[in-house]
Structure 1
Amino acid sequence: MDRQLLPVLLLLLLGASGLQGQGQGPERPSEDLLEDAPGEEVPQEDGILVLNHRTLGLALREHPALLVEFYAPWCGHCKALAPEYIKAAALLAAESATVMLAKVDGPAEPELTEEFGVTEYPTLKFFRDGNRTHPEEYTGPREAKGIAEWLKRRVGSSATRLEDEEGARALMDAGDVVVIGFFQDKDVATFLALARDALDVTFGFTDRPQLFQKFGLSKDTVVLFKKVSWPELRARAEGQVQQPGEFSSHLGAVLGSRVGPGSQAATPQTSRRIFSAKILNHLLLFVNQTLASHRELLAGFREAAPPLRGQVLFVVVDVAANNDHVLRYFGLKAEEAPTLRLVNIETTKKYAPTGGGPISSASVAAFCQTVLSGELKPYFLSQEVPPDWDQRPVKTLVGKNFEQVAFDETKNVFVKFYAPWCSHCREMAPAWEALAEKYRNHEDIIIAELDATANELEAFAVPGFPTLKYFPAGQDRKIMEYKGSRDLESFSKFLDSGGELPAEEPTGHGAAAGFTQ
């Protein structure tokens, strides 16, 4: 070959090689080339890494745990997530968590969206240990605390290892719903996997024999402790949605369940169904937590709980806090603490211990057993009879005068059972007053009302408000429930017909029905 042609051929070969590299090279730079880039840094905005196709590999090498948001600048959901994402990054940084948040402008990085199968915005993917090929799809909450908690349960333990009773009590006091796994023979891996996604629950686990003994357990199990809000308890008892307000409880339901091979991982939706298991008997300890002598009673109260697991929900009510509504429901005053009350939320029957001995583990257990066995009779709330109860057209009934008035053999008594806070009761009040005024001169008819939140009846429970019942004259103690329209004309026709509405009367609520109790 002519020596003069050799440089030309070499140049042509080099040129061809360069053109081939420009037109048919890899879609993104190889990680080897990125590693060789001197002084390479990934930019940040508000503590969040800003990535592109060139810097993603570098970020994966530098951060063993990385959550990446693929967003679009025009996406409304992305804009809503942005401030929470920034807060989550700050929370993780404040706790020195070994996880970093990042974001990628999806429309500007089509190579990355194609590589990771991004079809909608925002899409979040979690990368572990630099693994680029199998990221985990983020399925957690879209608010800061939830994002941070989801990530912490993946980079750390999803449950707290408990070594002693003090640690168990601290964990139980820390959350509204706390689940503790007691495992001596079983692998805890399934339990920890379940705990990763149930973010609304605090988890702990132990293998300590002294904790098994303390909670009355003899074999591996999972125990749940749930704090109860007063509106939830009262709404379940009365079938109504009540006014807001909560109280603190330090013990919860103890529900046994198993976690083993094949258990389905819990989601926030399934965990709520699991943790709403119905325990009808609720035992409340009323104490003043500012007093040391009252706080000392909590230990005995807690000790009584394990043997009654699944039967009784244990609750502590602090009378020094804003819990007047709880006291009123049980007919108590703050100065009566410490004391116990038990309520069955299905029958609404309430029970008080007899005697006046000290509150201890033994006395709490004995009180519960007398209620569960049917040996103890319930008590019923009643206001005092007002001196002028019969002076107005609408007569005022309370628990103490109800039997005498409602079952008077010579009277037809029409009673409204109401709640002071009930809007439906307030709406029908003018019609009820007009009815009483219309029949005030009828000696055999009494129009009355009873505040069913402050007075309870042994004869029957009041399921909702307003409830209207008619007690016709006679010796058979007949009770008829009115379910017609709540207006003066319908009320009048009902009374004039002796407790029945004409068949053609359109009531909108169904015809009045009579039944005997």
Structure 2
Amino acid sequence: MEAAPSRCLFLLLLFTCELSPEVAAEVQESSDGAGGSQEAVWLTDVPAAMEFIAAAEVAVIGFFQDLEIPAVSIFRSMVQDFQDVSFGISTDSEVLAHYNVTGNAIFLFRLVDNKQLDLKNEDIENIDATKLSLFIETNNLHLVTEYNDVTAVGLFNSMIEIHLLLMMNKASLEYEESLHRYQEAAKLFQGKILFILVDSGVKKNERVIAFFKLNVSQLPALAIYHTVDDEWDTLPITEVAVERVQNFCDGFLKGKRLKQNPESEEKTPKVEL
């Protein structure tokens, strides 16, 4: 098998290794269109902060010693932009000490891989709405994360080395029920497998389907991928069933990997897609 860099799949699926200004603008535009009346939750002690983080798939907390700095108002503006993220804010000295914050910081906690990402003092001083929006958007991974040019960065940086992709058209009548069952299956492999949704109705995503040597007529399908050594397997399905997804994942984890890009096959050159 040809040696490949760790987690090369999602690196290949990115247009570039960094977000382009156009993508950054798309993130900001989508955020500006969000509505609702969500508010940041004040976290007044350590137990409250811990409970808040444990209850959310993705939690973003602003730890501030000074509420007058520009970053605070920018942070609060993000609350309305990300309705699927829980926002908290704390000025309590014990809470800040518990999370080793000595100045001002913004942390993102995600349940899917128990990962903590942060913006420290030096980043906070130069933060603006676009930078903070990108930080949240690119790291906003849930039990099931939809693949796109922005979330690919967070997927690529996840510590979870096995990714499961459900490739199906979101416009299909079966989509809502299929997604619900896929989410239920994701709970069974939390911390072990990263569950991803690939909308086959999006033209750009044809490169993902082609990577796994599938075509649209074979969809919906599951594709499971080991990011370290490029081993993968696929399973065309007529419907998404929790037990079917579970058995497919269990088989892969136990080493029953059927398609591994064997050296005997002619491989597509690895270039940016």
Q: TM-score, normalised by structure 2?
A: 0.48
Q: Which has the larger radius of gyration?
A: 1
Higher RCO by CA contacts (8 Å cutoff, separation 6 or greater): 2
Q: TM-score, normalised by structure 1?
A: 0.28
